[in-house]
Amino acid sequence: MESESLSPNEKARIASNLLMLAPPCEFNEVFTDVRILVNDDDLLKEKVTPTFALYNKEQFHQVKLPDKNYRVLITRHGDMGNDRFLDPRSQITFHFDHLKRLASDISPADIEHKDLEPTRKAIEQKAIDYVDQHYRNGALTIYSKIKDNQPLIIICIESHYSKSFATARWRSEWTIHCKKSSDNSDIDVKGTIKIQSHLFEEGNVQLLASKEIEFTNKNSSPEQLAKEVFEKILNNESTYQEAIGENLKNISNTTFKSLRRQLPVTHNKIDWNKIVGYKIGSELFRQ
């Protein structure tokens, strides 16, 4: 009854928030539930549809392009407006249907920053090797941009997992602040790693984690720069992954333990075949 008192705008806002919180690989399932709750397809189409695009760009959704043997990421960096996105690797643009999640209408793209292309391509090739080695379901897109007169190379990586009662997504974004080859000062590299996982077997648990990382690198040739940057990216991403695992282990041994005492206090598993021999077993069989 309370939902009937909500205005259409309030319903749309709540529906959009729920969709943006959809776990990895589960957007369609969440949308189906939201659609039932709202019970107004016209409202969803008018007010909530833009959320599909926001979600896909935020999550670095992978899309397979026609006649290509790789996947492109849907990101804000490649957004050209009117649901068209850039694939710098093949120098094309395409239309992306955010609901059906299909690419179409392929067109050639103009290269805006030709002077950055040698660096972008060198980093792209290194990124392809890196993702192939370390991410089973990974994809990447490498952009070149000029922001505030600062040339940038932006590395976007996404990998996801979905099996049985578990889903997960890894996203990392690295921005290289490029300089002229004659400039011998160090260049800055800034990165953001985001991890999201969902376990829903006999329960419902989500993990959301992120980390900001910064490091510097010597300005050098495109090939050498790509090599050194990805050595540091590997080190940082591996360290963060290990830290997440260690933190989860500590939570299991400390936080969860304080919430519910492990039984028995000896920390030894109960031999259920001998349960009658325990006092608690005797009490149970008296009932």
Per residue in 65-77, pLDDT (tens digit) is: 998 999 999 999 9
Q: How far apart are CA 268 and CA 230, in angstroms?
A: 45
Q: How far apart are alpha carbons 253 and 202 in whole angstroms?
A: 21
- What is the residue extent of each domain of the chain? 1-58, 115-255, 258-286
Q: CATH number for the 1-58 domain, one of 3.10.20.30, 3.30.930.10, 3.30.1140.60, 3.30.750.24?
A: 3.30.1140.60
φ, ψ at 171 (rounded to 5°): -130, 135
Tens-digit pLDDT profile for residues 83-120: 999 999 999 999 999 999 999 999 999 888 899 999 99
Q: Under CATH, what is the fold of the domain 115-255?
A: Aspartate Aminotransferase, domain 1 (3.90.1150)
Evaluate whether 55 touches 22 at the Cβ level (below 8 Å): yes
Residue type, 96: F
String of DSSP letters for 132-151: HHH-TTEEEEEEEEEETTEE
Q: Which residues of the chain have pLDDT under 70?
A: 1-4, 252-287
Report field, pTM of the whole predicted structure over 0.75: yes
Question: Tokens 């709750």 identify what position?
Answer: 37
Nearest by Cα to 222 from 155, 129, 131, 124? 124
